[in-house]
Every structure is written in C-alpha cells, then in structure tokens.
Amino acid sequence: MKDYKQLAALAAEAKDRAYAPYSGFHVGAALLCESGRIYIGCNVESAAFPATVCAERTALLKAVSEGERKLKAIAVAGSKSGAEGDYCYPCGVCRQMLNEFAGEDFEVIIAKSADDYRVHKWAEILPFGFGPKDLG
Ligand code: THU
C-alpha cells in the first residue's frame, strides 16, 4: 500500500477552508492526478441548499478544468465544525462524478488525520457503477 500521509494531510488542511454556515459540517479533499499534480477542494454551501458543492467535486472540477483526465487517488477529511475528525465517506453524487475519470487503480483515502486513514480501492467505494464504458 502506498503512503498517503501527504494527501491525507492536505485534505485535513483543505477542510479548514470549508464554507458551511448551514450544516456546520466541514469537508476537505485532496485529489492526486496522473500528472502528479494535486488539487484541493472544500465544500461550499449556498443559501439555496441544493446548490451546495461537496469538497470532492470542488477538487474534481478544479482538476478537470485544468486539463486533467486521469485520477490516481483522492483523500477526504470531514467533521462537524470544531469536532475531531471521523471517517467521512464521499456522498453518492461525488462517487458518480469521480467514476467518470477514475481508472481501475483509483484509490480513496478516508482520513481522520494525516496519521489515521483508511485506503480503499475504487471498486469498494462504487461497486457495479454506471460510467462512460456503459455508453460505449
Ligand atoms: N459534503 C461533502 O463535502 N462531501 C461529501 O461527500 C459529503 C457531504 C458536504 C456537503 C454539505 O456542505 C455538508 O457536507 C453536509 O452535507
């Protein structure tokens, strides 16, 4: 298993930038692409609640709009504001969006902190997913 300490630390750092005045739930993500570049993201809420964007999609949209097309790994850190982090897994919408660009070897790091994280294969996070291959 690879060492994801740096990616986990970046996700935890990005969590501090969350704009979440409505839920009070702060999430950070750090997305490593095949280019070797890392894009961070946080959740950004809206007074019109459904317009909220999750941390994972913030990072993904930053990466794709910079020309990235292949993802290696994403670290996610989330917790209620002020609380100690717990293991926070990506929501269904984020899983679906990540599936668009996730390769076979894409990995998901669920970080409580830089030293305490779980690593999952993409197939564990989104088994039997619908994706680009299904549209031929
Ligand atoms: N949230 C994320 O940023 N990522 C997830 O995968 C789960 C949920 C955010 C959205 C919202 O701002 C807050 O957490 C509570 O749902």
Is residue 94 within 6 Å of ligand 1 at its C-beta?
yes
CA distance 78 to 26: 5
CA distance 2 to 82: 30
Measuring from atom 6 of ligand 1, which residue has the nearest CA? Answer: 90
**Under 8 Å between Cβ of 100 and 106:** no
Tens digit of each residue's pLDDT (9 = 90 or more) over 41-98: 999 999 999 999 999 999 999 999 999 999 999 999 999 987 777 899 999 999 999 9
Could you tell which of 91, 94, 99, 120 is best to mutate to test the pocket of ligand 1, judged by most ligand atoms within 8 Å of the CB? Answer: 91
- Residue 70 is predicted with a pLDDT of 96
Residue 58, burial from CB neighbour count under 10 angstroms (0-12, 13-18, 19+): buried
- Residue 17 is predicted with a pLDDT of 97
Q: Which amino acid is at 1?
A: M
Tens digit of each residue's pLDDT (9 = 90 or more) over 95-135: 999 999 998 899 999 999 999 999 999 999 999 999 999 99
Give Dmax (Cα) for the chain.
46
